[in-house]
Homo-oligomer: A and B are copies of this chain.
Amino acid sequence: MELDERNKRVLQAVIDSYIASGSPIGSSVLVRRYDFGVSSATLRNIMAELEELGYLTHPHTSAGRIPTDFGYRYYIDSLISVENDGDDIEDHLREAPRLQGDDLHELMEEASRFLAALSHCAGVVVAPSEPETQYKHIEFVRLRGRQALIIFVTTTGIVQNKLVDLDDSIRQQDLNRFSSYLNEELAGRTLAEVRRRLIEKMEEEKLLFTKLMDETYRASQEVHERESEMVYIGGASQMLESPEFASVEKMKALLKAFEDKYKLLRLLDRSVAARGIKVFIGTENPFFEMQECSLVVGNYKAAENVVGTLGVIGPTRMHYKQVIQVVDYTSKLLSKLLEERFQRGIEP
């Protein structure tokens, strides 16, 4: 059943107004603020119809209407047009502070705060995740005594180091040979492949460097673990400003959810597959603590591969249009920065 043009306009007006004001929208408000050319009674009939169809609801009999999750879904899919009059956000973006952290860690934190500041919600950035991250370079460095440093570089510019004990008999030249061997063998593979390959090698050739190989394997595993754990949350307190979280219980639930970064990670990772911006509304959201929140998620990439997720978590009543634009912009910005960083830093 398709909505007719007028009903669409009314639905949009209700949701727009509700997003702006935060309180339920009654028929009189619509008459006052919009020009539908009909009376409040007609609007009441239309709204009753929209409620029947599941787009709207009202908290109690004598209150105005608020959108359901289903209503928001329709609003986002069919009613807002991000591209055609997307000029309002551009101004904000132009005067926004630029991201400039030169450390990856710093850059991620900055990006999460950037998202938060522009969206007035919490900003989340997940560091590049493993499946798409590629091995770039390995290097072994002898330190004093028996110590050596394994330096592991990925295409996303992460440098992982690990200290290991080594036999005195192994000299820097040996290490150099070993590293160029590995570099040739592993070039261009993803980390998962690298790990598989290392295990194969270890079984094939039970040679001199077993221990070193083993440690290398471990280092590559640690890159994986460290990366996939890294979730940066910025501006969580922004969210507490919205009246929907004005109750102590809800605040606590929200805060707890933010502390459990692992859950957030899984939540965000669900959207890695898809390109473009995705929106999860309220109950579409798999975690109970987040049932009153919406999620706007996008990806960023570096070196041609999709490598990470970023997004905004806010109340279901958020300014979707603006937030979608912000997430889109930030994902492009971050992609560009990583690309540059990558070019400048590691590629010959």
Contacts and interface: CB of A to CB of B under 8 A. Distances in A.
Interface of A: 103, 106, 137, 139, 141, 143-147, 149, 151, 153, 159, 161, 163, 222, 226, 235-237, 240-241, 246-248, 251-252, 255-256, 259, 345-348
A139 B149 contact: yes
B240 A251 contact: yes
A240 B256 CA distance: 10
Contact of A147 (B144, B146, B259, B346): B346
B237 A103 contact: no
Contacts of A103: 222, 226
Nearest to A252: B240
A163 B346 contact: yes
A259 B240 contact: no
B147 A151 contact: no
B144 A141 contact: no
A247 B159 CA distance: 44
15 contacts: A103-B226, A141-B151, A143-B153, A143-B346, A147-B345, A147-B348, A151-B151, A161-B161, A235-B259, A237-B255, A240-B248, A240-B255, A241-B252, A246-B248, A248-B251
B141 A141 contact: yes
Count of chain copies: 2
Given A161-B161, A222-B103, A252-B237, A144 B348 contact: yes
A159 B139 CA distance: 15
A222 B259 CA distance: 28
A159 to B, nearest CB: 5
Contacts of A348: 144-147
A143 B345 CA distance: 11
A139 B149 CA distance: 10
Nearest to A234: B259
Given A144-B137, A147-B346, A151-B151, A237 B256 contact: yes
Contacts of A236: 255, 259
A188 to B, nearest CB: 14
A180 to B, nearest CB: 10
Contacts of A252: 237, 240-241
A232 to B, nearest CB: 13
Q: Which 5 A-B pairs have the closest CB atoms?
A: A145-B348, A237-B255, A144-B348, A163-B345, A237-B256
A250 to B, nearest CB: 10
Nearest to A341: B163
A256 B238 CA distance: 9
A113 to B, nearest CB: 9
Contacts of A246: 248
Contacts of A226: 103, 106
B137 A139 contact: no
Contacts of A347: 145
Contacts of A241: 252
Contact of A161 (B106, B159, B222): B159
A253 to B, nearest CB: 9
A348 B139 CA distance: 21
A149 B346 CA distance: 10
